[in-house]
A and B are shown apart, each in its own frame.
Chain A
Amino acid sequence: DVKVTQSSRYLVKRTGEKVFLECVQDMDHENMFWYRQDPGLGLRLIYFSYDVKMKEKGDIPEGYSVSREKKERFSLILESASTNQTSMYLCASSLGGVAATNEKLFFGSGTQLSVL
């Protein structure tokens, strides 16, 4: 089975800190995604990547950046964390080669980030 691993389950950071959320998948998937999930708002797409060194903005990219230097790893970066970035962050991957919407996503367990 595909495994998508997020580096931390819980993270507490201070306002203004630079925060790195790491995601690694072990099945040679082309596509990787970062979502955030908030009560009442559902999942919202932050950034995605269809290939190494490639990135595309999702619906809510402001305040975030990403890095994909290796195929298996997709990092989400909060340059200067703010309290409104307190959320559950979910990483996902899919096989690739076709439109992402024709494939199922494999999700990590999530990182609950609290910014104080």
Chain B
Amino acid sequence: SQQGEEDPQALSIQEGENATMNCSYKTSINNLQWYRQNSGRGLVHLILIRSNEREKHSGRLRVTLDTSKKSSSLLITASRAADTASYFCATAGSQGNLIFGKGTKLSVKP
């Protein structure tokens, strides 16, 4: 029961560039979350944006939410090699639990 879908599936950029990842979802939401996963590790929560918010910042991260288009984007500015990871969006599933997309794999080359 996939709720969110990230796009692109993979992204390769140079250090210092900005990285933008998108998430589209199907049903109305109360909030949307973004997580990061380093290779072979667990996921780490990055940011939660509520349905009445349009934009949220956390350090070099900027998340936007457009409920009319049922989409969100995660922007990482001035990327670093350490940002290399997979990024997932998560929204509520039919049982009221978090459902994750398949993720965007970001590679930042030094």
| Chain A interface residues (CB < 8 Å from chain B) | 4, 33, 35, 40-43, 45, 48, 56, 58-59, 88, 90, 92, 99-102, 104-110, 112
Contacts and interface: CB of A to CB of B under 8 A. Distances in A.
Interface string B70-105: 000000000000000000101111011111111100
B2 A42 contact: yes
B42 A101 contact: no
A68 B69 CA distance: 40
A102 B97 contact: no
7 contacts: A4-B42, A42-B103, A58-B97, A102-B31, A104-B48, A108-B42, A110-B41
B40 interface: yes
Given A45-B99, A102-B31, 20 more contacts: A4-B42, A42-B2, A42-B100, A42-B103, A43-B88, A45-B93, A45-B97, A90-B43, A92-B42, A99-B30, A100-B96, A100-B97, A100-B98, A101-B30, A101-B31, A101-B96, A104-B33, A105-B35, A107-B43, A110-B41
Interface residues of B, number: 27
Nearest to B4: A42
Contacts of B100: 35, 42-43
A110 B45 contact: no
A34 to B, nearest CB: 11
A70 B39 CA distance: 31
